[in-house]
Amino acid sequence: MSTEIKKNEKPWKEGVAKSITFIVTKDCQLACKYCYLVGKNSNERMSFEVAKKAIDYILNNKEFFLEESVIFDFIGGEPFLEIDLIDKVCDYIKVQLFTLDHHWFNSYRFSFSTNGINYHDSKVQKFIEKNIDHLSIGITIDGTEKKHDLNRIYKNSYKGSYVDVVKNIPLWLKQFPTGGTKVTISSEDIPYICESVLHLYSLGIHEVSINVVYEDVWKENDDILFEYQLMQLADKIIENKYYLNYACSFFNENIGKPMDKEKENTNWCGAGRMLAIDAQGNYYPCTRFAAYSLRSKKPIIVGNIHDGINRNKLRPFLSLDRCTQSPSECIECDIASGCAWCQGENYDASSTGTIYQRSIAICKMHKARVRANNYYWNKLYRKLELEGIEVKDAYKFVKNTTEENC
Ligand code: SF4
Ligand code: SF4
């Protein structure tokens, strides 16, 4: 007898698609306590003219955009607050791809990460119906009502948003049955991890991607509590055989191994290979380098809709690798695989004001995760072995990759 363990699906065309992000608004109905966007406001909304100029530049300079596919990402704030603009922009993109006989014509996606509050809105639903074959939509829900409402609160009333989000989950799963959710963990959330993942499974969400925040928020003993929560979750997943149909990104056989200095020396973060555009028409290597994402550093602008991209400004991002930005303890680390970083947070937290200084605030949390991950796989394999079950398509250690995704 054999079995297959479910793992988190890779995003559409991962590694071969260009990612282009439109920051359509800096407004949001919520004021999540862990949100890294420090400069949210309701004034900076993208106009159609700015979006059109950016699209014209991108689609008419094919030599700079050679990737075989493209993902147009719309973010905020909350992107669906700007559904009229988004609908118009997407229509324009489709017409231009056809008119220009562009190589992305049949290989594009529109992607959204939404707080889910106005998902049922008739304009949003009309847009989904129109573009369903080219859409990826993720709704962010953090787990149980208590855990979700701990952080995801309305900006005006400070009331939790769980009730308004959860009512839209059935509709979303009907339209996107394989839809996954991203959960963000900071210090206060740790006690709720196990019950929250199980709650998301009970709502019918089969793929849960969880990340701890990269910021330096961790208190003493957070790593011990984190490990304990993950071990509890491991027990529940194994006991209830959730590993057959549900995935949780915390558990992955690829993490917690040493990495070869030469062969596994890539910069996993996509900053510089992607492009973000804001309401003023400025280009950034990723949204994390726009002013509204940065606590203490100046934005890094690499061009604009009038002058195009200054490729010299992209060069530092494209030449970065793991070793050029990591301290020696990370380069020599025995459990380095899966220990990720965010280039934007590295820059923001750096004392040098450069992108060459990796922040290692998550170090003890990664170590705790690896210990719990080892516990999970040992326990699961022992169980399956005792039951005489062979694991089909078990994860293989893949060189140069981590499963993390921002
Ligand atoms: S941050 Fe810590 S766990 Fe991660 S690679 Fe560096 S030393 Fe290893
Ligand atoms: S890890 Fe951070 S800097 Fe890199 S692509 Fe993601 S958000 Fe941008």
Phi and psi at residue 75, to the nearest 5° = -130, 170
Pocket flag, ligand 2, residue 270 (CB < 6 Å):
yes
Phi/psi for 43 (5° steps) reads -90, -35
Which amino acid appears at position 312 of this protein? N
pLDDT in tens, 212-221: 999 999 999 9
Distance between CA atoms of residues 406 and 73, nearest Å: 13
Please check the confidence at residue 93 and state whether its pLDDT lies above 90. Answer: yes
Residues 150-196 have pLDDT tens digits of 889 999 888 999 999 999 999 999 999 988 898 889 899 999 999 99
User: Cβ–Cβ contacts within 10 Å for residue 35, how many?
Assistant: 15
Determine the Cα–Cα distance for residues 144 and 200; give it in Å rounded to an integer.
8
Q: How many CA atoms lie within 13 A of 238 on its CB side?
A: 19
- Whether ligand 2 lies within 6 angstroms of the CB of 191 is answered as no
> Which ligand gives the minimal distance to the CA of 213?
2
* Residue found by looking up tokens 């206060």 in the block: 188
Query: Of the bound ligands, which one is closest to the alpha carbon of residue 345?
Result: 2
Say what percent of the chain tops pLDDT 90: 77
Give the per-residue pLDDT at 13. 74
* pLDDT mean over 348-363: 96
Report if pTM > 0.85: yes
CATH no. for 2-392 = 3.20.20.70
Grade residue 400 by pLDDT with cuts at 50, 70 and 90: very low
Distance of CA 269 to the CA centre of its chain: 11
CB of 275 closer than 6 A to ligand 2?
no
Closest CA to 65 of 73, 57, 74: 57
Our mutation pick for probing the ligand 1 site, out of 366, 369, 374, counting the most ligand atoms within 8 A of Cβ, is 366
CB 330 within 8 A of CB 274: no
Instruction: State which amino acid sits at residue 63.
Output: E
Q: For 61-190, where are the alpha helices, taking DSSP H only? A: 83-99, 122-131, 145-151, 162-166, 169-175
- Neighbour tally for 50: CB within 10 Å: 22
CA distances from 242 to 139, 160, 206, 239 (A): 21, 29, 9, 8
Q: Look at residue 276 and tell me whether its pLDDT is greater than 90.
A: yes
DSSP 125: H
Q: Which mutation among 339, 359, 362 tests ligand 1's pocket best, with the greatest number of atoms within 8 A of CB? A: 339
d(CA 41, CA 60): 32
Q: Rounded CA gap, 282 and 280, in Å?
A: 6
Instruction: Evaluate whether 8 touches 207 at the Cβ level (below 8 Å).
Output: yes
Asked if pLDDT for residue 399 goes beyond 50, the answer is no
Which contacts (CB < 8 Å, 24+ apart) does range 160-163 have?
161/29, 161/30, 161/115, 161/117
pLDDT in tens, 56-92: 999 999 999 999 999 999 998 899 999 999 999 999 9
* Contact call for residues 325 and 357 (beta carbons, < 8 A): yes
Top pLDDT among 333 and 399 is at: 333
Indicate whether residue 286 lines ligand 2 (CB < 6 A): yes
Residue closest to 313 by CA, chosen among 281, 358, 282: 282
What is the share, in percent, of the chain residues with pLDDT greater than 70? 94
Contact 46, 279 (CB under 8 A): yes
Alpha-carbon distances, residue 241 vs 70, 208, 234, 384 (angstroms): 37, 16, 10, 11
Determine if ligand 1 sits within 6 Å of the CB of residue 330. Answer: yes
The best mutation among 14, 37, 318, 406 to test binding of ligand 2, ranked by most ligand atoms within 8 Å of the C-beta, falls on 406
Got the DSSP string for 276-321?
EE-TT-EEESSGGGSGGG-SSS-----EETTTEE-HHHHHHHHH--
Q: In the chain, count H helices and then E strands.
A: 13, 13
The residue nearest atom 1 of ligand 1, judged by CA position, is 363
